[in-house]
Chain A
Amino acid sequence: MNFLTKMLAAVLALSVPAPLAAQERGAVRHDFDATQLQGGARILVFRPRIRVGEQSTGGMFEPRADWTELARDNLGTAIDDYQARFGASLIDAPEAFGDEARLVDDYITLFSVVSESIVNYQFFVGNRLETKKANNREDIFDWSLGSGVGELPGAAQADYALFINVEDHYGSTGRKVLQVFAALGGVSVTSGRHAGFAALVDLHTGNILWVNADLQMGGDVREIDGAQRRVEQLFEDFPLLPNDAVAAE
């Protein structure tokens, strides 16, 4: 029995996931000089991609239009407030139609897949790709969406673009129950996913200059306060100084 207890403890210890602190959330490109941003920089802000829904017991995502609508309103207001603090630097990307709208959509989708790869293979230390480990040793952060971003509507009038992506899956009751039972067995089952990705992209090269990406962010985007908190987290360490900070310097 004593042996079994020890075994059980060993199994439990093994199944505890790596400490969350080990997970990085943001990065700045190695050759990016943030002082270029201060002053007259023009940064296009593309309309965020927002998806909110429920996570079934099996972990499948089921979109909910009502929640998405709420999140869109709440996050829209929170981002507007945030934008106001930066004055003329953060400007809304022009409304796009037809092929241009499709191109914007395609790049926002690509951005979300690149962000996911950054989280999985660069930030998550235990899963880092070997070639990325070499980059990390030399302080290289090299991810790009490609120079084609220069064809995005509004790109000719700006130097940078800001991409934002929010995806929230709220665990269904069944998922939460599964989580509790799995936890009893010492196994970690996540209930819900609260992904937030924000990045500053160089419109000439497509290089990601600054990124903040996390699969478990805080703030319930269906609520006004929560959405504000989410936006604060999304822009944590954003390299552009707000107007009041510039005035104080």
Chain B
Amino acid sequence: MRKLGLMLSMLFALTPAAASAHRLIEANAAVTVARSDVTVTPTIEWNRISQRPGNRAERWTLDGELLNDVLFFAEVGDGDTLFREVNRREMPLPQFSGNMLLVDVPSFLESSLRISKGVATFEVTSAAPVQFLSHDGIRFEFTTLGADDLQRRGVAQATIIDGNLFMMLYEAPALHFFQRNLADFEQLVASARID
């Protein structure tokens, strides 16, 4: 009996969670992101991927995260990671620290992406101060070479409010895809508000 119970619990653990569908994000309506007080108002339809990439994160895409990946991170506090742990024992994700500076954000993102996405190379190509969510922030662009051998380009905008990190990021293949939807991402960034 005990054996059966154990087997049952193992089965439940192995059974994939009932696939919750990806959600349609409608155009022209404000929507909160990453379970936070941050809202954005897209002007085109997006898909929200059902599986959250991290506790404080949310992922949107148009054609799949390999082709256009929009990530929202909000209220990332002391000790939080950007993404869900992949292999906590052997490759733990770096943790955010409340006393990090804005200039530390690109390298924090780099080490997080290397582990969570298996990014082989990450290079920051530009960085500049901006206003984001009505606070001083940083905007930086980068290139990556993924585990799939594909060159991608990315852009991120981040700010730290009361020791919490807020960031929006867009990454897409350098060929065709990055340029195709860059303006749509810029529009999301411009529409971002925090209550």
A interface residues (Cβ-Cβ under 8 A, vs B): 4, 7-8, 11-12, 14-15, 106-107, 109-110, 112-114, 116-117, 120-121, 126-131, 134, 143-148, 182, 185-187, 206
Which residues of A are found within 8 Å of B175, using beta-carbon distances?
A: 106-107, 110, 145-146, 148
Partner of B46, one of A109, A110, A127, A131: A131
Q: How far is the CB of B95 from chain A (nearest CB, A)?
A: 26
Assess whether A11 is in contact with B8, with CB atoms less than 8 Å apart: yes
CA distance A8 to B175 in the complex (A): 49
Which residues of B are found within 8 Å of A8, using beta-carbon distances?
A: 8, 11
B interface residues (Cβ-Cβ under 8 A, vs A): 4, 7-8, 10-12, 14-16, 18-19, 21-24, 45-47, 61-64, 66-67, 148-151, 173-177, 180
Assess whether A187 is in contact with B11, with CB atoms less than 8 Å apart: yes
Which residues of A are found within 8 Å of B16, using beta-carbon distances?
A: 15
Given A8-B11, A129-B22; A112-B47 close (CB under 8 Å): no
Given A4-B8, A109-B150; A116-B47 close (CB under 8 Å): no
Q: Show 22 residue pairs from A and B whose CB-CB distance is below 8 angstroms, ordered by the A residue.
A: A4-B8, A8-B8, A12-B11, A109-B150, A110-B150, A110-B173, A112-B148, A113-B66, A113-B67, A113-B148, A113-B173, A114-B63, A116-B64, A116-B66, A127-B22, A130-B22, A130-B23, A131-B45, A131-B46, A148-B175, A185-B10, A206-B176
Partner of A109, one of B8, B148, B176: B148
Q: Which residue of A lies closest to B16 (CB)?
A: A15
Which residues of A are found within 8 Å of B173, using beta-carbon distances?
A: 110, 113
Which of B46, B47, B67, B175 gathers the greatest number of chain A CB atoms within 10 Å? Answer: B175
Given A130-B47, A131-B45, A144-B176; A121-B63 close (CB under 8 Å): yes
Which residues of B are found within 8 Å of A187, using beta-carbon distances?
A: 11, 14-15
Given A15-B14, A187-B15; A109-B149 close (CB under 8 Å): yes
Which residues of A are found within 8 Å of B18, using beta-carbon distances?
A: 14
